[in-house]
Chains A and B, each alone.
Chain A
Amino acid sequence: MPASFAEPLALSLRDVVVDHPVGGGVVRALDGVDLDVGAGERVALLGSSGAGKSTLLDVVAGLVRPTSGDVEVLGRRIAELGGGALRRHRSEVGVIRQAHGLPGALRVVHNVNGGRLGAWSTVRALASLIVPMGRSDVDEALGRVGLDGLADRRTGDLSGGQQQRVAVARVLVQNPELVLADEPVSAVDPRLSADVVELLCSTTEREPRRDAVLLSLHDPTLARDHVDRIVGLREGRVAFDLAAQAVDSGMLTSLYAPA
């Protein structure tokens, strides 16, 4: 259900097209996507690989510039942001990407603190690599993702699922207004993945501002149980955009059917 006009939108995409240059030509990753996410909403993106889920999240995060179309996130037009404004914007958007980007040589505590780089001065960031700052917040975040006592381990020594949860903890300490997560639980075992998705979604409940959660998932059941709305993507276009309970198995079958 789209948010009413009175409420501010967390994000709004209008006719967004993204072409990725490949070799001599281009591959159209998004082909005219319209999407509104209201404040406090939890939205899941479903679709087979190559449907454009990751690209859509990158566009909202300001990491990929659309070829055409308008993108407004947290009330700002992304295309107009540059330099410091873009960095400030990124510090308010929490991103978990598929390649979660945790240097394996760093201790877990530093990787979690990496979420705060946007809020920290350079001096503080450098000092923190020697004596980790905000230790209690880090421990709390690690506790919430079920990684108590692992703060001083080398990140590269953790399992794939544990590393994904470190990436979730990094977003928790970042305390962003908008959470974007690309397959945040693909390597987490099923029992824990429900908890982690719930945890990500609950970040919108703490302080109802313009907060919202947009995440791509591979598991439709997980999506139906935890989000308000499901957006199906197919070949760069929105195939359906419905309340989670309204999505039936026939829609999912045609969403994942081969072209």
Chain B
Amino acid sequence: MRTDLSRGAPVRATDLSAKDWPQLPKPPRQVFKWVATTIIAAIVLWSFIGLDAKWSRLLDAPADLYTLGRLMFSQMEASEIRPLIGKMWESISIAWMGTLIAAIFAVPLSFFAAENLVGRPVAWIIRQVLNLLRAIPEIIIALAFIPVFGLTPMAGVLAIGVGSIGTLGKLFYEIIEGIERGPIEATDAVGASRSQRLRWGVLPQVTPELTSFILYRFEVNIRASAILGVLGVGGIGTDLTQAIRFKEWGTAGLALIIVVVGTIAVDTVSGLVRRRIVRGPGASSDGGSFEAHEAELIAESVND
């Protein structure tokens, strides 16, 4: 956003005399506080009653957990480690393929959703498409794909791919709307065409952040693909649910450990790559402002 100093100086705090200071708002009346508290308490109580949970079991939970943990560690077999790592690798592959598919669709869509590149009506329409895609949980998309592709990793890949387009597209157009106009105007000034303007004026500014968010989404999708495995589309999630169903606690415990360790490992590597991409080679200390921006966008995407 550009500001023009000639358009009227901002009012500084020191220009105001004491009587000009805005009055502090009066504290809200206590009645509202009590009404609000009562309503919230009623809602909480209502949902507790509505849930058919056996709350008495809560007391037994620590003992049950201990028993389960003991069974898991006593029944573990080293021979299962290798095949389970293979399954984790399958989950990671599903996440990676899905993320790439999402990125391939999200990048062009986001150009048409950015108001600084296209007209407002076009941007609005594309944004609604992205919102719609964002609103459907991956697991529902997977259920829709299973009749077409069967219980195969392909169904998982497509579910993750379609499910990530909305979020990635939203993050991308926000990045694109934040770019400097200078390079775009500079390409216009030499008589560049629209596609040249995009390639020379826009992409060089956004590629590092776009790549970084694709990698971040990949991290999120590894967890998603492990969950999708529960449906039976492959990956370590499928083995985990089967082991639990057949009470093979040793296998279930190993699978859990491999999921946690594998996810942390990929997160760490991907985080290092992202930092390197965003800060550029050689630059080490000036990533601060971007990281704040990234944290803000990530916080938003987590709410989706």
Where the two chains meet, the residues of A that have a C-beta atom closer than 8 Å to any C-beta of B are 22-23, 27, 49-50, 61, 63, 86-95, 97, 99-103, 105-106, 110, 114-120, 122, 125-126, 129, 154, 156-157, 170, 174
| Distance between Cα atoms of A95 and B182 in the complex (Å) | 12
Query: Which B residues are CB-close (under 8 A) to A154?
Result: 280
Query: Which A residues are CB-close (under 8 A) to B189?
Result: 61, 63, 90, 93, 95, 97, 101
In the complex, how many angstroms separate the beta carbon of A218 from the nearest chain B beta carbon?
16
| Distance between Cα atoms of A157 and B181 in the complex (Å) | 20
A105 lies within 8 A of B7 (CB): no
Q: Which of B7, B185, B191 contacts A91 (CB 8 A)?
A: B191
A63 lies within 8 A of B185 (CB): yes
With A126-B199, A154-B280 given, is the CB distance from A99 to B180 under 8 Å?
yes
**In the complex, chain B residues 201-227 whose Cβ is within 8 Å of any chain A Cβ:** 201, 204-205, 207-208
Query: Which B residues are CB-close (under 8 A) to A105?
Result: 204-205, 207-208, 280
B190 lies within 8 A of A116 (CB): yes
With A22-B7, A50-B6, A156-B280 given, is the CB distance from A114 to B190 under 8 Å?
yes
Query: Which B residues are CB-close (under 8 A) to A106?
Result: 200, 204
Q: Which of B196, B207, B283 contacts A117 (CB 8 A)?
A: B196
Query: Which A residues are CB-close (under 8 A) to B77?
Result: none
B190 lies within 8 A of A90 (CB): yes
Where the two chains meet, the residues of B that have a C-beta atom closer than 8 Å to any C-beta of A are 4, 6-7, 180-193, 195-196, 199-201, 204-205, 207-208, 280, 282-283
Q: Which of B180, B190, B193 contacts A174 (CB 8 A)?
A: B190
In the complex, how many angstroms separate the beta carbon of A38 from the nearest chain B beta carbon?
23
In the complex, how many angstroms separate the beta carbon of A53 from the nearest chain B beta carbon?
13
Query: Which A residues are CB-close (under 8 A) to B191?
Result: 86-92, 117-119
Q: Which of B187, B195, B199 contacts A129 (CB 8 A)?
A: B199
| Distance between Cα atoms of A151 and B191 in the complex (Å) | 23
| Distance between Cα atoms of A157 and B185 in the complex (Å) | 21
Kindly report which residue of chain A lies nearest to residue B205, judged by CB atoms: A103
Kindly report which residue of chain B lies nearest to residue A88, judged by CB atoms: B191
In the complex, how many angstroms separate the beta carbon of B289 from the nearest chain A beta carbon?
14
With A91-B191, A105-B204 given, is the CB distance from A100 to B186 under 8 Å?
yes
Kindly report which residue of chain A lies nearest to residue B192, judged by CB atoms: A117
In the complex, how many angstroms separate the beta carbon of B234 from the nearest chain A beta carbon?
37
| Distance between Cα atoms of A170 and B192 in the complex (Å) | 14
B193 lies within 8 A of A87 (CB): yes
